[in-house]
């Protein structure tokens, strides 16, 4: 029976961070801090708390040293299990798109299963806790969350399901498919060999820079069995405003001496989230 030793976690950190304005470009987006903790550190903490210790952070050669140093600092204070260091690998293929980078990474791995997650996601709670029980399943899984605001349906990144089985994946906002919509959190538990084969077929005809959701919809259309795994609310950090939202949410986790201050901060958070949800897709990502 498969367990965590049969699964490698791949944190995909191949973005350029150029949409972060002055905050990005020189720093990997996953190293930007939500309140007081880099996004990558938060993900690593959550993964280790869920029992995963076979972890690879995959990034571009440009950010390899930055991320390797950040991982070194993380491990110094939070050592992993003996013999299970967190590896950082440089992946030149990200220049052509995240899916090309993923295909190259899958060829380097040896475990039957791979749990992928995006390095620029802020989760309000640990989203990885349900996944160890899914490693032994024959189907693949996508991490999903309910809508915090109905306006977020307009932003795309939707997974449609019927009783937990995925019936459609819509990367960009468009016509609805059958089933109930939920938000995809960027987490996927996949069969490594099957995904590598499907990626080769997908990239033979699709643009190299296609979004990840288009690939999983391609798999679903090939009759691959994909299920939903429910998790907590999250923020996809695509702009400085999204980073501010994640920081406000992270600050709300901390104890406050003043209830009025906490109430005011919660109101600011809700207002900012509504503002971002009402913006046209991509408008907050300029710069």
Q: What are phi and psi of 274, to 5 degrees?
A: -65, -40
Cα–Cα distances (Å) from 73 to 32, 91, 241, in that order, read 15, 22, 27
DSSP assignment letter at 122: E
Q: At what angle do helices 64-77 and 39-49 cross, to 10 degrees?
A: 50
Neighbours of 22 (CB within 10 A): 8
pTM of the predicted protein model: 0.91
Report the CATH number at residue 214: 3.90.550.10
- The answer to whether 124 and 231 are in contact (CB under 8 A) is no
Supply the range of the domain harboring residue 48.
Answer: 4-285
Per-residue pLDDT of the chain (287 residues; tens, 9 = 90+): 456 679 999 999 977 655 666 665 678 899 999 999 999 999 999 999 999 989 999 999 999 999 999 999 999 877 655 557 899 999 999 988 999 999 999 999 999 999 999 999 999 999 999 999 999 999 999 999 999 898 888 877 899 999 999 999 998 766 667 889 999 999 999 999 999 999 999 999 999 889 999 999 999 999 999 999 999 999 999 888 999 999 999 999 888 767 888 889 999 999 999 999 988 655 443 33
- The answer to whether 89 and 105 are in contact (CB under 8 A) is yes
Q: At what angle do helices 192-205 and 212-221 cross, to 10 degrees?
A: 100
- 79-87 long-range contacts (CB < 8 A, ≥24 apart) are 80/48, 80/53, 80/55, 81/53, 84/53, 84/54, 86/44, 86/55, 86/56, 86/57, 87/55, 87/56, 87/57
Number of domains the chain contains: 1
């Amino acid at each position: 029976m498969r367990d965590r030793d049969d699964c490698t976690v791949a944190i995909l950190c191949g973005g350029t961070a150029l949409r972060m304005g002055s905050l990005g470009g020189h720093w990997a987006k996953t190293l930007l801090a939500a309140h007081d903790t880099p996004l990558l550190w938060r993900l690593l903490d959550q993964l280790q708390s869920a029992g995963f210790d076979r972890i690879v952070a995959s990034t571009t050669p440009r950010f390899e040293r930055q991320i390797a140093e950040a991982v070194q600092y993380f491990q110094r204070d939070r050592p992993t299990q003996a013999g299970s260091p967190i590896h950082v690998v440089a992946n030149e293929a990200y220049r052509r798109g995240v899916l090309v980078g993923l295909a190259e990474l899958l060829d380097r791995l040896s475990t039957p299963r791979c749990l992928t997650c995006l390095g620029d996601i802020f989760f309000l709670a640990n989203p990885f806790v349900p996944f160890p029980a899914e490693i032994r399943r024959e189907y693949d899984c996508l991490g999903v969350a309910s809508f915090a605001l109905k306006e977020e349906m307009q932003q795309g990144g939707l997974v449609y399901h019927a009783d937990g089985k995925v019936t459609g994946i819509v990367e960009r906002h468009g016509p609805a498919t059958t089933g109930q919509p939920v938000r995809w959190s960027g987490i996927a538990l996949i069969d490594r060999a099957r995904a590598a084969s499907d990626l080769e077929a997908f990239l033979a005809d699709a643009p190299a820079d296609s979004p990840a959701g288009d690939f999983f919809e391609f798999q679903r259309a090939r009759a691959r069995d994909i299920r939903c795994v429910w998790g907590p609310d999250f923020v996809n950090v695509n702009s400085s405003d999204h980073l501010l939202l994640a920081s406000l949410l992270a600050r709300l986790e901390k104890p406050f001496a003043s209830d009025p201050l906490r109430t005011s901060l919660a109101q600011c958070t809700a207002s900012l989230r509504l503002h971002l949800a009402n913006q046209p897709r991509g408008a907050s990502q300029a710069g």
